[in-house]
Amino acid sequence: DTAVSQTPKYLVTQMGNDKSIKCEQNLGHDTMYWYKQDSKKFLKIMFSYNNKELIINETVPNRFSPKSPDKAHLNLHINSLELGDSAVYFCASSAGTDQPQHFGDGTRLSIL
């Protein structure tokens, strides 16, 4: 069984659209994260949620909003997509902020 799963795996859309990426973990972890990996493979934290509370909010545009309906899910909503949003977005989870993080296989977002 996949521990951290993201859908969709690929997302191709036009500038200005609104899209969502879903993430689910079946590890029973308390903390979930969203990372952005750019074209140079650089990984950077965007958000993390601990017990449904936002505990880290890096300097990302407010067009990006994480939403956690329950402890096992952390979805990423993106409004008014821009060309610069093209990247691979990874969801991750951990048992706590000081515990190993487990990553999903990513969602490749391409903006036309």
Partner 1 sequence: GENVEQHPSTLSVQEGDSAVIKCTYSDSASNYFPWYKQELGKGPQLIIDIRSNVGEKKDQRIAVTLNKTAKHFSLHITETQPEDSAVYFCAALNYGGSQGNLIFGKGTKLSVKP
The residue within the footprint of partner 1, chosen from 1, 14, 39, 41 (CB under 8 A), is 41
Binding to partner 1, residues 67-96 (CB under 8 A): 90, 92
Among 12, 17, 26, 44, binds partner 1 (CB under 8 A): 44
State which residue, 1 or 14, has the beta carbon closest to partner 1. Answer: 1
**Nearby residues of 98 by Cβ (< 8 Å), 6 or more positions away:** none
Which is nearer to partner 1, 38 or 82 (by Cβ)?
A: 38
Q: Which of residues 7-36 bind partner 1 (CB under 8 A)?
A: none
Could you tell me which residues come within 8 angstroms of residue 32 by beta carbon, excluding any fewer than 6 positions away?
A: 23, 25, 48, 49, 68, 73, 74, 91, 92, 93
Contacts of 35 (CB under 8 A, 6+ apart): 43, 44, 45, 46, 89, 90, 91, 92, 103
Residue 110: Cβ within 10 Å count = 13
Return the range that interacts with partner 1 (CB under 8 A); candidates 15-23, 54-62, 68-76, 78-86. Answer: 54-62
106 binds partner 1 (CB under 8 A): yes
Give me the residues that bind partner 1 (CB under 8 A), please. Answer: 4, 40-45, 48, 55-56, 58, 90, 92, 97-98, 100-106
